[in-house]
Structures are given as structure tokens and as C-alpha cells.
Chain A
Amino acid sequence: MGAITLRNVSKAFGDAVIIPGADLEIAHGEFVVFVGPSGCGKSTLLRLIAGLEDLTSGQILIDGEDVSGVPPARRGLAMVFQSYALYPHMSVRNNIAFGLRMAGMPKEEIDAKVARAALTLNLTDCLERKPRQLSGGQRQRVAIGRAIVRQPKCFLFDEPLSNLDAALRVNMRIEIMQLHRQLDATMIYVTHDQVEAMTMADRIVVLNKGVIEQVGSPLELYNTPNSLFVAGFIGSPKMNFISGPFAARHNAATTGIRPEHIALTGAGGDVQGAIMLTEHLGADSFLHIDAGEAGRLTVRAPGEYGGKPGDAVALRFDAARLHRFDSQGKVIV
């Protein structure tokens, strides 16, 4: 089992308060992603759960048991670090086996477990190599292997893919998701990349300045962000924010509309503007439009859009998809 509960967890380094107080319930088997800009406290929260940092106040419960004072090794968790943190002087085999050796497991059992993990992760051929002889993707897999042999209640991932190139990142993302399905374990995954969060998570926890802004499934966050921050953070390209008279007409301080919810029409529409720049991505085109009082807007047009810079366009907003926010940045329902 691997249910994790945070009760009013807070962390301060001296006078600097990193996390003022967080509450969260994570059910067994969930894949939860902590996402937020750098410095938002997501890694700190993960390290608090791991036991690598002391709580300033509050409680952390694993399967209903308070582990606040329990050292990391005895929490039954495993962690995959951003830098992988492989032991450079040990072979891949010993890297994976280290935790089991520390637990005093008999040698035959260790060998069997390492062999099985290596098979799962496609590492069998490089068991005797040192980490520095491996590629980035292989190192990543060793780090994961080191975590899975210990059969932890919960896996903690601290930005594990940020050191890989784009193509490899997509592959590893899929591998980790498959692993999650195979292992039936809880996984907590920290990233600053909202695409990773959207594609991998059962539930996403959005953090801003140490505060949990919103918790929900990827589509919940996409469709019904409860604050300006979440609305701006989730989704790519970013949601357009329009304030001023346009927002006032909708009784809001700020209104938001995603680029994919704006249609180009021949004439009329909600606002008019001129094309400043077109980005061609093949399947889509992103138009950057100067829309007068509405400011600059990004519009996603399907396929290859033919317009040139300077062309006048009219835009129609999907009214059902228009988000309204008050002056505090909270959503108006």
C-alpha cells in the first residue's frame, strides 16, 4: 500500500518560509505530479515526503502512520533524483543492489531481483558497466532500477527527465507510465514542465510560491482552472489574458481564452486585429495577432494558415470557453 497524507505541512529555512502549510491526500496507486515554476517549493515538498528534510511543522502520514520523525530509509519510499545520483564507483549491478545490500538481503535473492529489474528496464547487457560508460537514457533507467528493486510503497521522482534530450524524454515518459501500470505503486513526480504533467498524471498538484493552487486531473485543470496562475501555467501555447474594457464588458478584471478556442472568421467577430507573425508547426499554425484594445493574442489555426504579416483578421471567441477572473486572480464562476 502507499497512501500518503500531508497535514498542514510547512517548511522554513531560517526566516525564509518555503512552504507555509500544505494539505494533500494521495491514494494508493495514484500517479501524482507536482508542477510549478522553479522555486515554487515542489522539490522541497518531495524531499519532505522522502525525509531528506525535516518538517518545520505538520505531519506526514504513510498508510495512516505518522512518519514525520522516521529517517528516509525506513519510510519504504524510493527516489529518482534529477542528476540520477548514481554511485560513480559502482557497476550498474551494484548500484541497483546497494539498497538491498544495506537491508542485509541474502546474495541469491539480491541477484535474482537485480536480474529481474535489469530485464524490465532493458539493462541486462550493461550490468557490469560503470555509470560513466552509459548513455543518458541508460543512466536514467539505472536510477529507476535502483528504485524498483526495493519494492517501495511509493516512488518519488525529482525532475527525472530534465537532463535528457527532447526525443529521449518522450520515450522515458512512456516507459515510466508503463512502469506505473505494471507495478501498481504510488508515484509522485515533480516537474516544471506542464506537458509532462498533463501527459503523465492521474492528478496534478499545481504549486505557486509554496502554496498548493489547485489539485485535479489534467483535464480539470485545463478546462476549469481556478486561478489566473493555473490558467496561465497549464496549456501550451499559453492562455491569452485580456484585461481592460474588454474584460469589463464581461464583468471581470481579467478574461482568459486559450489559443485553440479562438476561431478566425471573415468579418465581424469579437475583436479585429492584424497578423504580426506566423509560426508554422505543420499540423498547426500559431498566429500572433495585434488585436487593438484586446492586446496581443495568440491563435491556433489548424493546418497551414496562408495569411501574411499585416493581413487584417477577425476573431471569434468560443463563449463557453471564456474564463473570467477577479482582481485577486480567482476564477469567477
Chain B
Amino acid sequence: MKASLTLGKVTDFLGLGFFTTLKDLFTGKLEKEDFKDFLRKSVVPLASILLFVGLWHLGAKSLYNTEADFKIAKALKDQGQAAADALTACIASGESSCQPNTLPSPAQVWESFQSLLRDHNIISADKAAFAEKTATLNAKRVAAGKDAIVYTGRPSFVDQIFRSLQTVFAGFLLALLIAVPLGIFIGLSPTLKSSFNWFIQIFKPVSPVVWYLLVFMIVKTILIGSTNDSSFTISFISVGLCSMWATLVNTAMGVSSVDKDYINVAKVLKLGTFQKIFKVVLPSSLPLIFTGLKITLSVAWMVLIAIELLAQSPGLGLFVWEEFQNGANDSNAKIIVAMFAIGIIGFLLDRIMLSIQNWVSFDKTDAI
């Protein structure tokens, strides 16, 4: 039984089936008739990744040259030949102060990624040292009924990712808790449906920025006088409100479109209202509800960046914004690293939702 939970299952779970065929190739298990399959599943995706990186590299190089030529031409025009020569030499030497500011190449991004990891290690070590140093003092403070001293240093890139994940999960949970019950009520009652329809139609297309401002207005007043930082609260509520619509609409649709046969069964068996909802209506609308939740989670992750940026709530969004404002030599590369982090995490979240959906759905083929 344990052997069945192998690479194959894990990669299938992640939707990266081609790793399995790749493994088969190395372990010599690949049959001749599998070769086409292997080509399609392993070689083609890998080739497309290489092609992507190659095109990126060439594009970045061309942009770099354009920017450099422009800079040199400007120096020549404004300051004369000597300054232009100096700048050319400076650019060629790789000196960081005079590098053209443009799309970073894959190598630069990779370098930035590693530097971010190094940075994370330094900060973690610093944090651990701080915790050790303040351990006895904090114990005393807590015993005396005072707040413990917390680490207030700069968060690392990895910390920002975890903070973003926290915000997204809090927002997602909020969306789930509002949208699923509300969707069930709306789906069950045509009266509620018609009374809520305008509400859904009007608020569904509202942009994340506006949601943020709305939540900000309300939460600011509610938490008036509180000294705590409300940016986390504001950002997760905005994320939740922004992303809940897909779940709301899908739940309502799933609940209101239960197969008539099942409803007839419920009637013939004379199930009570609660029994009917929990034993018939909900299980049959689960696939649709989960499709909604999947969309909600990906929307939540997508709007998170914009909302964190506005709310000044620590996380990937703020990281991107600060790097952009920072304008340091490797800022652009760091932004691209964050972009990949956002993309890959979004992809993993989607996969996790899909697996949960497959797991709870009665009909495995229904999962979309």
C-alpha cells in the first residue's frame, strides 16, 4: 500500500505527469510503444521551457543593447566624446552604477533568486539570535503581564511569501464562509434569488482597488482608537470580498439545478428539509461548488498583490512595489523572481484545489 504513494502519485497530483515518464526513461522501464507518449509528455514541455528561456534571454539582450546605445548616444550629445567613451567602458566592465535599467536576463533573475535566499538565511539567523537573546527577558515580561518583545527587523522574501499565503487563506476562508451558505440559500429560494440578483450583478465586476477602498473606509472606523496594525485585516477582507463571487454564483447555480430525479427521490423518501439539503442537494452540487472555490482561490491570489500593495500589508505585493520604488540595480530581477514565485504558487494552489475536488466529488469525471 505504501509503495503506491510514489513519485507517480505525487506528480499526478501536481499535474506534472511528465516527471513519471522521465523517471521511467532513466530507470529503463520505458517500452517502445511508450516512446510517443514520452515525447509528448516529457520532451515537448521541456523543450518549450528551454525555448521560452532562450527567447527571454535574446529579448533581454536586445533590450539591454537598445538601452545602452541610447545612454551612450545621450552622453555623446550632452557631454561629448570623452564621457561617451567612459560610459561605454563602464557598461562593458559590468560596473553596477552605470548598467542600463531594463528587462533582466534569465541569468540575472537566477542570481537574484539566490541572493534572496542568502538574504533569507541571514535574516533567519538574525531572528533566531534575537529570539535567543530576548528569551529570558520575554519570559519575565510575560510573567509581569507585559507584551513580549518581538523581532521588528526587515522580513525576508520567504517571510513575505508566507505572509501573502496567510492573507490569501484568511481571505479565501472568509469568501468560503460567506459565499457557500449564501449561495445555498439563494439557490434554494427563487425569492431570494431575485432579490439578490441585482446585488450580485452590480458588485461582481467591482475592481479589487475599489473593494480595498471600501473595506478601508469601514474597517478604519470600526477599529478606531486601536493601536494595532489593521493592514492585514483590511487586506484579507478585501481579498475575500473580491474573490467570493465565483463561489457564490456557482453554489447558487449548483443548488438550484440539482437533477430532478434526485429531488423526486428525496420527495418519495419524504426526507426532511435538512436531510434533503445535506444528503441530496449539497452532494450533488459539490462539483460546481468546488469549481467556484477553485476560481475563488485563483482570483484571491491574483488580486492579493494589488491589495497588499495598496494596504501596505507585508507580502509579495508590497515586496514588488518596494523593489519597484527602490530602483536598485537588481530590483528588476527581484521583481521577476517575485513574478515567478506568484505564478508557481498560484499553480500549486490550483492543483491542491483540484485534488480536493477530485477527492470529494462523487463523479470523478465531473471535475473540471
A and B are partners in one complex rather than unrelated chains: no
Please give the residue numbers on chain A whose beta carbons come within 8 Å of chain B beta carbons, in ascending order.
Answer: none
Please give the residue numbers on chain B whose beta carbons come within 8 Å of chain A beta carbons, in ascending order.
Answer: none
